[in-house]
Amino acid sequence: MKTKLILVITLISSFAFAHQGVELGPNGGRILEFSKNETMHGEVTVKGDQFHIALLDKDMKQVTLAEQTLTATGGTREQPVKIAVTRTEKGFSLPTIKPGEWLILQFRDTPTAKAITARFNYNTSVCAECSSQEWVCKCPSAKE
């Protein structure tokens, strides 16, 4: 009986908190953590058929590219695909993935630094509350 009660409470709470906003950057893109101490962020935006990833410091100010590198993987768990990443004057650019797939990014501040992995589901369905795509939902998160 106790196990069933715990299961029911877990299911109800997962549905109650399933929808929540994400942290958005100064350009309206999704913020990903590219450091362990929140000193480097990536802001992911989409223009046309390209993801654009700008590097931002702890104050959400643009960071100039130097030695930083980024690798990307998309596709499914069963068939992951490496995605070509291009350096731009404002950060990195790469082709968008199919809606519903996960984008996995590995950021290195220097060539010898340990990679920081960030990932998100590219959910393009529209949020009924804020009318944004779910991957950049503007609704308040559970933390707020």
User: Which long-range contacts (C-beta less than 8 Å, at least 24 apart) are formed by 3-8?
Assistant: none
What average pLDDT is seen over the chain?
85
pLDDT band at 77 (very low <50, low <70, confident <90, very high): confident
pLDDT (0 to 100) of residue 52:
97
- Per the structure, the count of domains in the chain is 1
Q: pLDDT digit string (tens) for 15-66?
A: 334 455 789 999 999 999 999 999 999 999 999 999 999 999 999 999 999 9
- Determine how β-strand 80-83 pairs with β-strand 86-87: unpaired
The answer to the question of residue 6 being in a domain is no
The answer to the question of residue 142 being in a domain is no
The answer to the question of residue 62 being in a domain is yes
Q: Is the pLDDT of residue 14 over 80?
A: no
The answer to the question of residue 11 being in a domain is no
The answer to the question of residue 4 being in a domain is no
CA distance 144 to 139: 10
The answer to the question of residue 13 being in a domain is no
CATH code for the domain in which residue 109 is found: 2.60.40
Share of the chain above pLDDT 70, in %: 83
The answer to the question of residue 30 being in a domain is yes
Note down the domain range covering 54. 20-136
The answer to the question of residue 10 being in a domain is no
pLDDT (0 to 100) of residue 11:
39
Q: pLDDT digit string (tens) for 88-107?
A: 988 999 999 999 999 999 99
